[in-house]
Amino acid sequence: MPINPLTFKSISIDHHFHPTGLPVLVQPINSPDWRACIDDIKQLVEQQLHVQGGLLFRGFAIKGAEEFNAFARAFGHDLLNYDYASTPRNEVSSGVYTSTEYPAHQVIPLHNEQAYTLSWPLKIWFHCEVAPEQNGETPIADSRLVYKKIDPAIRERFVEHGLLYIRNYGNGLDLSWQQAFGTSDKAQVEAFCTQHHIECIWKEDGELQTKQVCQAVSTHPVTHEQVWFNQAHLFHISNLDEHIRDTLISIVGEENLPRNVYYGDGSPIKDQDLQHIREVLEQCQVSFAWQQGDIMMLDNMLAAHGRSTFSGARKVIVAMAQGYSEQP
């Protein structure tokens, strides 16, 4: 649903920035001061974020974590903490984090933020403080399109059974439970797990295992569209290089792998089904080159995101807001 650009006096809108229409490019017409444009920006977000899935703000005078923090908060929601973390990050401002700190040579596949849980942010922002010298894009994909393209038989199996995520923390193989839960107090971890329907198992060596059954697809609360919404392709052991996979299993056993996923009843998911899902995600992927100062705002249920490999310096920070759960 294209917008009449005459509606907005302070910003210009380009639906053809990418042939897919995702993301929509938003730029200031006169003043680069985002505060001078915020009324139009908020109206645009209200009208179009849940239609297009993503907006790219370019050319606005936004520098640094504090200014980014203020921009993200301007949409009326407190920023969320990165609770029940699955990847290494650092908080750089209240509610603002570094993007996943994996080495530059590693690809981070497309995923929806915290889709491995029963609650997640509806909005997520990415701010490019330092554009990479080469590559380093944050590719995105329309989760509605992903849902439609997945083989119906595979999709039905996922929907019918749900997904069981199993995580084993620490031992130098993954985040420690202290990092994942942001505390060294076991009682706080147990309380969090109880509140969020996570099974919490303390092992003899003092480490932690968690189990949680989650959704494979979800329904957007505003548009009521079906979206592919899980991280099975990331958590499944088939996501690892075959040599690393075999080595890990030989050392710790399948039950103690840092992370893995099964159908909700505990039955295995076929490797070829996960590979099909990865191929669909790749088919739906959209990329653009970051420019310093860019902010991309996504509806986290409608748009997945990832990270390409890169060379040189790269700094992209992240904020999330508007927590949501389908649980009563």
Overall average pLDDT of the 41-61 stretch = 96
Residues 6+ apart with CB under 8 A from 298: 23, 53, 54, 123, 124, 125, 126, 140, 305
Q: Model confidence over 85-102: pLDDT tens digits?
A: 888 788 888 899 998 878
Q: What is the mean pLDDT of the chain?
A: 94
Residues 6+ apart with CB under 8 A from 35: none
pLDDT at 3: 55
Overall average pLDDT of the 63-69 stretch = 94
Return the HEC string of 6-75: HHCCCEEEECCCCCCCCCEEEEECCCCCHHHHHHHHHHHHHHHHHHHCEEEECCCCCCHHHHHHHHHHCC
Overall average pLDDT of the 308-314 stretch = 93
Look at strands 295-299 and 119-130 and give their pairing.
Answer: antiparallel
Residue 24, pLDDT > 60, answer yes
Give me the residue label for tokens 């849940």.
Answer: 50
Share of the chain above pLDDT 70, in %: 98
Residue 229, pLDDT > 60, answer yes
Was domain 145-281 assigned CATH 3.60.130.10?
Answer: yes
pLDDT at 38: 97
Residue intervals in the chain for CATH 3.60.130.10: 5-106+120-140+287-325, 145-281
Share of the chain above pLDDT 90, in %: 86
| CB-based contact 274:236 (threshold 8 Å) | yes
Overall average pLDDT of the 231-244 stretch = 94
The CATH architecture one would assign to domain 5-106+120-140+287-325 is 4-Layer Sandwich (3.60)
**DSSP bridge pairs for 14:** 25
Distance of CA 196 to the CA centre of its chain: 19
Radius of gyration of the chain (CA): 20
Distance of alpha carbon 67 from alpha carbon 206, whole angstroms: 41
Distance of alpha carbon 208 from alpha carbon 168, whole angstroms: 6
Q: Model confidence over 126-144: pLDDT tens digits?
A: 999 999 989 999 999 999 9
**Alpha-carbon torsion, ordered 91, 133, 41, 90, to 10 deg:** 0
**DSSP string across 117-159:** SSEEEEEEEEEEEE--SEE----EEEHHHHHHHS-HHHHHHHH
Peptide bond into 19 cis (omega under 30): no
Residue 274, pLDDT > 70, answer yes
Confidence band of 6 (pLDDT split at 50, 70, 90): low
| CB-based contact 318:98 (threshold 8 Å) | yes
Overall average pLDDT of the 233-256 stretch = 92
Distance of alpha carbon 263 from alpha carbon 120, whole angstroms: 20
pTM above 0.85, yes or no: yes
| CB-based contact 227:218 (threshold 8 Å) | yes
Confidence band of 103 (pLDDT split at 50, 70, 90): confident
CB atoms within 10 A of CB 10: 16
Distance of alpha carbon 302 from alpha carbon 141, whole angstroms: 8
pLDDT at 2: 54
**DSSP string across 183-203:** -S-HHHHHHHHHHTT-EEEE-
CA distances from 8 to 27, 53, 62, 125, 296 (A): 11, 19, 20, 22, 19
